[in-house]
Amino acid sequence: MIIDGNAIAKKIKDKAKNCCSECYRKPNVVAFMLGENPSSESYLRMIEKTCNSVGFGYTLVRLSTDISEAELLNRIVEKNQDEEVDGILVQMPLPKHISEEKVIMTIAPEKDIDGFHPMNAGRLFKGEKATRPCTPLAVITMFKELDIDLEGKYIVVIGRSNIVGKPLAVMLMENNATVTICHSKTVDLEEHTRKADIIIVAVGIPQFLKREMVSEKAIVIDVGMNEVDGKLVGDVDFEAMKDYVQMITPVPGGVGPVTNAVLLLNVIEHFKGVKR
């Protein structure tokens, strides 16, 4: 089975639209973009399209790359204090003279729809309600939509980033899965992946996970997005595995659309004044 991320994303968007149909105002998202970057431009256009499709407000604040760190932080504080703004995101990467850590820390935790603020990360790791990073939340949401019970499953996460691997492992354990995080220093990776009921790959290496590394009973979730010869491919050798494993996500059309859609759920949580 090839998992249809677009169909799952549509369900989430419909839910978001219905949740706010009778609200006194529409939820509003503000994005900051410094300079020009084709990948960032494409991503933010997708966010804008997603927001518009459900009736959310979306504002893109374009700033020059020579803006001072202090001025950018002041702009973010202004949006923190604006009661009409429910979600803030700052598109990375930033110019070298601006600290990403300071920017993330400046965004109010209650408006941090990316889930990157240390307060949200700390709450997540403590098992408290918190805004979850969108990609891990997308993966968990896909399992729920597909009625895949994670309890007792052995899940291997390949990748240990603060944005995907680490928070995803915590969220999987919340669902009573047994989780192993693998990475570039893991000895005998295949020893883990062959035993896994579910494998989630987020390493940023094209077609890293090969057919011989997995069981035919496995579910494979590909978080990777890589451009090879002008074509978008994942971290999984999809063509070799699509008729072999139990379930698999394609790239594009898998985790990506769901990641964009679940950002709406984070906005709604902040809009309602309720932390996830």
CA distances 275 to 20, 116, 235, Å, are: 17, 14, 32
Q: Could you say which DSSP state residue 245 is in?
A: S
Mean pLDDT of 24-33: 92
Residue 42 has what pLDDT? 84
pLDDT category of residue 144 using cuts at 50, 70 and 90: very high
Contact at 8 Å (CB) between 242 and 2? Answer: yes
Question: Which pLDDT value is given to residue 275?
Answer: 38
Least Cα distance to 51 among 197, 203, 268, 272 occurs for 268
Q: How many residues does the chain have?
A: 276
pTM: predicted TM-score of the whole model, two decimal places = 0.93
Q: How confident is the model at residue 43 (pLDDT cuts 50, 70, 90)?
A: confident
Interval 169-227: pLDDT, tens = 999 999 999 999 999 899 999 999 999 999 999 999 999 999 999 999 999 999 998 98
d(CA 120, CA 128): 9
- Judged on CB neighbours under 10 Å (0-12, 13-18, 19+), 49 is exposed
Instruction: Report which DSSP code applies to 213.
Output: G
| DSSP state letter for 131 | P
* φ, ψ (nearest 5 deg) of residue 250: -85, 165
For 95, the token pair is 């110019």
Please report which helix (H) or strand (E) contains residue 263, including its range. helix 255-271
Residue whose C-alpha is closest to residue 91's, from 31, 47, 148, 46: 31
Q: Which pLDDT value is given to residue 36?
A: 87
Q: What is the Cα–Cα distance from 105 to 90, expressed in whole angstroms?
A: 11
77-127 pLDDT, tens digit each: 999 999 999 999 999 989 999 999 999 999 999 999 999 999 999 999 999
Q: Tell me the pairing of strands 28-34 and 57-63.
A: parallel
